Amino acid sequence: MHIHSNFELKPYNTFGIAASAEFFTRIQTIEQAQELVSDSNWKERIRLVLGGGSNILLTQNVQGLVVKNELKGIKVVEESTSTILVEAAAGETWHPFVQYCIAHDWAGLENLSLIPGCVGASPMQNIGAYGVELKDVFERLTALHIPTGAMHTFTKADCAFAYRESVFKRKFKGEYLICSVVFRLSKNPVFHTSYGAIATQLAQMGITSLSIRAIADAVIAIRTSKLPDPAQIGNAGSFFKNPELSNEAFLAFQQNHPNAPAYPLPNGGAKVAAGWLIEQCGWKGKRIGDCGVHTQQALVLVNYGNATGAELLALSNNIINTVADKFGIQLEREVNLL
């Protein structure tokens, strides 16, 4: 295991931000991870565990050690007539893993196709799209406790999943290196087509017989049409969460904005489309220097080439303030700031 110094992180974050790590290393086995945290000199310097770099905004150079998680492997750990438990190492890239499951007719992840990043980030963020969240298919994960070097298993309850939230983003932030995640998938699919434009896309594709492959293809087509490719223009996908309003707050909001897109919440109230709020404030397609708001999706902030993380952060602050002034709704960032 080699420790690099003054390591350039631009290729390792999807925003394409030019920032450096004081120290940088890669782990490709559990033994390497355990070796790293058994060395007090390096354990105490770990500042960031990096997967695909798709949900972070680097606002400055990173002082300390950045650890690139490159653990690989996919295996079946349990199987019955109706379900299958599949374990994927944290360094596996998310979309190819989803496609692997679809190719084996294991249902549950198809609505989460084309989400950038790695498997290890999926429970951290409780990723979700088109009516499905990671928690819906999550069974357990194993993670290395950085302060002690012990391996811990986390159940769904342990993870305290919420909308784009888990214990790894707040309570245990920076304390664990996720090693693998086990997913409970189904051999008898339940199709989720009512959220967003999936049903419309399926109709446009001429799909009359549903399958997990058809749904995945529809999701991929929708995401490709709306979201920029990080390989072409720097971005981290959705920058903001869709705000969740109480029933009382939503009714008051709806009276003034009856055409605003919103989605009912299981316990009352509704989730309002952040992209719509941002667009109504005139931000969609707006560019300031080399940073801006995407022309097709107002939820996405983009780096047109040489924007800094500080400039993108300032842009997000301006958007948050504008939405708060116009609608009285406080947007929250989905990306992690560093």
CA angle at residue 80 from 76 to 81, to 5 degrees? 125
Is 78 an annotated catalytic residue? no
Is 164 an annotated catalytic residue? yes
- Token output for 261: 């897109």
CB count within 10 Å of CB 268 equals: 11
Out of 164, 166, 223, 316, the active site residue is: 164
Out of 110, 238, 316, 333, the active site residue is: 238
Residues paired with 100 in a beta bridge: none
CA distance 141 to 123: 8
Catalogue the E-assigned strands of 274-327: 287-288, 291-293, 300-303
Is 238 an annotated catalytic residue? yes
Out of 92, 110, 133, 334, the active site residue is: 334
Phi, psi of 117 (to 5 degrees): 110, -170
CA distance 186 to 120: 21
Residues paired with 152 in a beta bridge: 143
Residue 125's SS3 state is helix
Q: Which residues are catalytic?
A: 164, 238, 334
